[in-house]
Amino acid sequence: MKPLLFLSALVLVLQSCGENKPAPPKEVKQYTIEQFYQTKRIGAGLWSTDEQRLLVHSDASGIFNLHEINVTDGTMKPLTQSTTESFFAVDYVPGTTDVLYNADKGGDENDHLYLLKSDGSSQDLTPGAKEKAGFSGWTKDKKAFYYVSNVRDPRFFDVYKMEVGAWKPVLVYQNNDNYNVDGVSKYGDFVALSKSITTSENQLFLYDLKNKQLKEISETGKPGKYGAEGFSADGKTLYYTTDVDKEFAYLVRYDLASGARQTAFETNWDVMYSYESENGKYLVIGINEDGKNKLLIRDAQGKEVTFPAIPDGDIVAVNISPSEKMMRLTVGTSKSPNDLYAYNFETKELKRLTNSLNPEINTGDLASAEVVRYKSFDGLEIPAIYYKPVAASANSKVPALVWVHGGPGGQSRVGYSAFIQYLVNHGYAVLAVNNRGSSGYGKSFYKMDDRNHGEKDLQDCIYGKKHLQSLDYIDKDRIGIIGGSYGGYMTMAAMTFHPDEFKVGVDIFGVTNWLRTLKSVPPYWESFRKALYAEMGDPTTADSTRLYNISPLFHAKNIKNPVMVLQGANDPRVLQVESDEIVAAVKANNVPAEYVVFPDEGHGFVKKENEIKGYSKVLTFLDQHLKAAPPVPQ
């Protein structure tokens, strides 16, 4: 554990004698990367048949394993002891203590569905060598479940049904027409399908399994984005979101018999998702409100259900039990990871079940995420999530980082990040930019980067740097850029095309050669390929010229400031060769380049030991090349 650091901030205090005296030093404790990652991540929270237990996955062991939580006393019992692959909870098998879970191999994204039996043995239910499968819900009688799989054709996902006990796949819907499968009715009569046109426009369909008929639900002549959100409990209604004729996505009820549609909920932010509880007693609506989850629950009469009050916590997700008497709440803030609570609708009792933050960490030493906005080069207002070090002041200036999210089309959101808090705790301000093209701020904003990647959206990041420089407690000569995936691309684009802007760049599995990346997307992206090409450009056409021009690899001779690259060897989206080549190109410039490859990770890190290794090296790199870098001569 590191000693306490006393970082003083001088402020002007008017004294009776007219003298200025410094305020008392602000005490901030710095924590090690190991301490930050002793914090546990927990996910899922699925009700057992008797509603006495919750099935979760947690990385308390270092990677994600299955656990169940006793709702009465909060004790957590491990169900698996994997040391190599992460296991993620799907659900209990109804009426039993067996569970379903999914896992891939080393981050290759070929997820399989597994059955974990009560005796501890497991069975791969989708054993195809290159198969990718996903759970799609139980039948009404809970005797079988639906799932999607690309085992027949690696490009397309078909719908299968599997009976409990028999565990044999039965093909329900063969997808020969490049659709996305968005949901299956638990009554076994309809499949919701969609077809991508662009990343901001698609079509929505219903396929009648009994009559073998396809019907378009999206409105002819009204282009927009559609998302199936599931069928009602009685099987008579399809819920979907759309932004047709509106700037933000709203929720629609579609009557399966009559075809009548009705707006069920609308606000001035995107509706992210919605679903009905088991018997339709409650409707849950999730809203993306300025980078933060907001949840509404309505009863069958449309009356809003009041949430229990949770001090210093934001309810980010819920799961209502099959009896509709209990509710699991997932609660977190930017200074504390998600924790689970159980709430009894009848008794109004609220019970905390987990404490995920390492008790050695005092939240008072961490930074609260603040939603800020600044103007870009053309006057466009750019939203961002900002983390200010607790002890930063005009007399104790700190270096800063512009953080760029993945995508294209992702969003930085308010929530806990051990990595960001680690950086901020060690004296770096972080501005997580939601550049044009980001989700959550309306469809016009979302489409602003189409065929313009690495240009205006990159300027938004540069103007994020300028915003940081306007703050009197930021060391304006020590600002770097960092990002993962598409954010890694933006990082390398900044270092390549604007080499004087950022003092360092940290690229986490980022694209550097768009020609290769767009040609080598995984086969199961086939339904999305044309939409991706419509936004980014088609590498097999004249678009290749622009893609070449915006690819950092082909212009790496311009890079002159230090770069760090992190890469998973099993990444199916951004191949390791991308990072190999850009690192070699930077070194050819005699520019410092640090490279860390993880042989057991894919597109994103899930193992704590790898996060600890990689992110501690990032801090060391920043301390050497950014914090300790000589100031620019004035």
Residue ranges making up the domain that contains 457: 367-627
Whether 248 maps to a domain, the answer reads no
Confidence of residue 630 (pLDDT cuts 50, 70, 90): low
Q: Which amino acid is at 594?
A: E
pLDDT at 535: 86
Question: How many angstroms from the chain centroid is the CA of residue 400?
Answer: 23
User: What would the mean pLDDT of 319-337 be, rounded to a whole number?
Assistant: 95
Q: Which amino acid is at 272?
A: M
Q: Is the pLDDT of residue 6 over 70?
A: no
Structurally, the chain folds into a number of domains equal to 1
Specify which residues 209 forms β-bridges with. none
| CA–CA gap between residue 289 and residue 590 (Å, rounded) | 46
DSSP 8-72: --------TTS---PPPPEEEE---HHHHTTSPPEEEEEE-TTSSEEEEEE-TTSS-EEEEEETT
Whether 446 maps to a domain, the answer reads yes
User: What would the mean pLDDT of 620-630 be, rounded to a whole number?
Assistant: 88
Whether 436 maps to a domain, the answer reads yes
Whether 586 maps to a domain, the answer reads yes
Q: Is the pLDDT of residue 12 over 60?
A: no
Torsion angle, CA of 382/334/89/484, rounded to 10 degrees? 40
Is the bond preceding 389 in cis, omega lying within 30 degrees of 0?
A: no
Contact of 374 with 463, CB cutoff 8 Å: yes
Confidence of residue 220 (pLDDT cuts 50, 70, 90): confident
| CA–CA gap between residue 475 and residue 627 (Å, rounded) | 9
| CA–CA gap between residue 551 and residue 433 (Å, rounded) | 21
**pLDDT tens digits, one per residue of 95-142:** 999 999 999 999 999 999 999 999 999 999 999 999 999 999 999 999
Phi then psi for residue 254, to 5 deg, are -120, 120
Q: Is the pLDDT of residue 25 over 60?
A: no
* CATH number of the domain that residue 372 is part of: 3.40.50.1820
Contact of 552 with 489, CB cutoff 8 Å: yes
Q: If you search the block for the tokens 């992190």, which residue do you land on?
A: 566
pLDDT at 632: 52
| Beta strand pairing call for 180-184 and 505-508 | unpaired
- Looking at per-residue pLDDT, the higher value among 311 and 560 belongs to 560
Q: Which two tokens stand for residue 618?
A: 């990032």
- 36-68 burial string, b = 16+ CB within 10 Å, else e? bbbbbbbebbbbbbeeebbbbbbbbbbbbbbbb
Specify which residues 66 forms β-bridges with. 57
pLDDT at 628: 80
User: What would the mean pLDDT of 22-44 be, rounded to a whole number?
Assistant: 84
Whether 585 maps to a domain, the answer reads yes
- 152-168 burial string, b = 16+ CB within 10 Å, else e? bebebbbbbbbebeeee
pLDDT at 22: 42
Whether 542 maps to a domain, the answer reads yes
| CA–CA gap between residue 142 and residue 178 (Å, rounded) | 29
User: What would the mean pLDDT of 156-167 be, rounded to a whole number?
Assistant: 97
pLDDT at 117: 96
User: What would the mean pLDDT of 41-51 be, rounded to a whole number?
Assistant: 96
**pLDDT tens digits, one per residue of 92-105:** 999 999 999 999 99
User: What would the mean pLDDT of 385-400 be, rounded to a whole number?
Assistant: 95
| CA–CA gap between residue 419 and residue 422 (Å, rounded) | 5
| CA–CA gap between residue 394 and residue 392 (Å, rounded) | 7
Q: Is the pLDDT of residue 17 over 90?
A: no
> What rounded mean pLDDT belongs to the chain?
92
pTM equals 0.91
User: Residue 353: in which H helix or E strand, if any?
Assistant: none
**Cα angle 2, 605, 112; round to 5:** 145
Question: How many angstroms from the chain centroid is the CA of residue 526?
Answer: 22
Q: What is the CA radius of gyration of the chain?
A: 25
Q: Which two tokens stand for residue 400?
A: 């800063």
User: What would the mean pLDDT of 22-40 be, rounded to a whole number?
Assistant: 82
Q: Is the pLDDT of residue 24 over 60?
A: no
pLDDT at 23: 47
User: What would the mean pLDDT of 192-211 be, rounded to a whole number?
Assistant: 94
Whether 302 maps to a domain, the answer reads no
| CA–CA gap between residue 343 and residue 73 (Å, rounded) | 13
pLDDT at 529: 86
Q: Is the pLDDT of residue 4 over 90?
A: no
Whether 31 maps to a domain, the answer reads no
For 167-292, where are the alpha helices, taking DSSP H only?
A: none
User: What would the mean pLDDT of 325-348 be, rounded to a whole number?
Assistant: 95
| CA–CA gap between residue 488 and residue 262 (Å, rounded) | 42
Lowest-confidence segment of 197-201, 255-259, 398-402, 490-494 by average pLDDT = 197-201
Lowest-confidence segment of 161-170, 216-225, 625-634 by average pLDDT = 625-634
DSSP state of 410: -
pLDDT at 524: 84
Contact of 257 with 235, CB cutoff 8 Å: no
Q: Is the pLDDT of residue 446 over 70?
A: yes
Contact of 460 with 378, CB cutoff 8 Å: no
**Cα angle 180, 181, 186; round to 5:** 165
pLDDT at 483: 97
